[in-house]
Amino acid sequence: MIPRLDAAKIAARDPETMAALKLGVEDVGVLIIHNTPISRPQMNGVLESYREFFRLPDARKRVVDMARTGSNRGWGAAGSEQVDPAANPDFKQVFDCGFELDKGDPLRAQGLLVYGDNQWPDLPGFRETIQSYYAQALTISLDLLRAISVAIGEDEHFFDNAFSRPMALLRGNYYPPRPDWASDRDFGIAPHTDYGCLTLLASDGVAGLEVLGADGQWLPVDAPVGEFVINFGEMLEMWTGGWVKATMHRVIGSKEERISVPMFFNPNHDTNVAPVGADKPILAGDHLKKRFDETYLHLKEAPPG
């Protein structure tokens, strides 16, 4: 059973809800939250903005193609990402945007790609809608991480310092209807775990997401517009010494097109996400860069020879 939790009750630290949260984090690896500050009409607006973008002719999307930059922000065409080396590149398209450092931020001087410039399409209202959602999704994600911290017996503010300049990435995924040519190695998004701490995932309500259960079975996870699926990422698994497991998930794709909107809640670049007491630090920025380099075709190293 996937716990479905009321965000207002989480915020109030309602004991029953906190127990269900703990179960969702430790045993199930996935949960659903509803009654967040993001209303259903707002979410519909966000979904519609992405829909409009993905409907643009490829020539207009190419203007913001991430493959033209060394970064990972903007449009990712179908086939631009391969999350599972055993599968073919995913047939989804994406649009990614991320955290913008203040003009005077000394981190800027380092030219880190994880804080690269956002690229915005020439589409009235798109940037405003997406950026305002980005800010709200950050707040909801941090609130949830604080509650998780409490639920697993840590201090509420254990993670706070790590999110002052988060490498948080907001993505719109567009899954066209599953193509006729698709084989069993072709996916909307192939099996993978997300790279960061947690993912706040919205969708247009079309089914498609599946999560791998402890029993080895793929379990469909559906949430209507206005509710969010939460799964956990590799950095949280490392940071908690394996207490929280990163959730394996995939989308095979169906006859219906589908849009989903994950907020990948990644910490500051310089965060040490190694377990407490580990002899070597693991920098969040290094882990993220490694995973991007492994999965984005335009960032992959050319094969030797």
Ligand X SMILES: O=C(O)CCC(=O)C(=O)O
Q: Which residues bind Fe ion (CB under 5 A)?
A: 194
290: buried, middle or exposed (CB in 10 Å: 19+, 13-18, 0-12)?
A: exposed
- Looking at the Cβ atoms of 49 and 260, the one nearer to ligand X is 260
- Taking the C-alpha atoms of residue 31 and residue 266, their distance in angstroms, rounded to an integer, is 18
Task: List the single partner that 7 binds among Fe ion, ligand X, none, CB under 5 to 8 Å by kind.
Answer: none
Which listed option, Fe ion, ligand X, none, makes contact with residue 173 (CB within 5 to 8 Å by class)? ligand X
Q: Which amino acid is at 95?
A: F
Nearest approach, Cβ of 171 to ligand X (angstroms)? Answer: 6
HSE, side-chain direction, 13 A CA sphere, residue 7: 22
- Please report the DSSP string for 259-280 in residue order: EEEEEEE--BTT-B-SPTT-SS
**Stretches 6-14, 71-79, 203-211, 289-297: which one binds ligand X (CB under 6 A)?**
203-211
Give the E-state strand segments of 13-56 in sequence order. Answer: 30-34
Torsion of CA 72, 74, 80, 85, to 10 degrees: 40
**Residue 258, CB-side half-sphere exposure with 13 Å CA sphere:** 26
Q: Sign (positive/negative) of CA torsion 229, 244, 90, 50? A: positive
Count residues binding ligand X (CB under 6 A): 12
Handedness of CA 292, 296, 299, 302 (dihedral sign): positive
> Taking contact as CB under 6 A, which single stretch among the options 74-82, 147-155, 202-210, 236-244 is the one that binds ligand X?
202-210
Among 38, 113, 151, 209, binds ligand X (CB under 6 A): 209
Q: Give residue for tokens 């449009």.
A: 75
CB of 261 to ligand X, least distance (A): 8
Nearest distance in Å: CB 262, ligand X: 5
Is 220 within 8 Å of 207 (Cβ atoms)?
A: yes
Closest to ligand X by CB, 159 or 228 = 228
Task: Pick the stretch among 10-18, 65-73, 200-208, 292-300 that binds ligand X (CB under 6 A).
Answer: 200-208
Q: Which residues are 272's β-sheet partners? A: 283
* Nearest distance from C-beta of residue 203 to ligand X, angstroms: 6
Q: Are 259 and 51 in contact (CB under 8 A)?
A: yes
Would you state the structure tokens that stand for residue 289, as one six-digit string? 């860069």
Residue 110: CB minimum distance to ligand X, A: 26
Judged by beta carbon, residue 278 or residue 297, the one nearer ligand X is 297
Residue 17 vs 199, nearer CB to ligand X: 199
Q: How many CB atoms lie within 10 A of CB 45?
A: 14
Here's the x/- map for ligand X, 151-190, by CB under 6 A: it reads as --------------------x-x---------------x-
Q: CB under 5 to 8 A by kind: which of ligand X, Fe ion, none does 260 bind? A: ligand X
Q: How far is the CB of 192 from Fe ion (least distance, A)?
A: 6
What are the strands, taking DSSP E only, across 18-90?
30-34, 74-76
Between residues 194 and 227, which has the closer beta carbon with respect to Fe ion? 194
* Residue 240 binds ligand X, judged by CB under 6 A: no
> Out of 89, 98, 172, 262, which residue is the one contacting ligand X (CB under 6 A)?
262
Answer yes or no whether residue 249 interacts with ligand X by CB under 6 A. yes
**Continuous H helices in 152-269:** 234-239
Residues at the contact surface with ligand X, assessed by CB under 6 A: 171, 173, 189, 194, 201, 203, 208-209, 249, 251, 260, 262
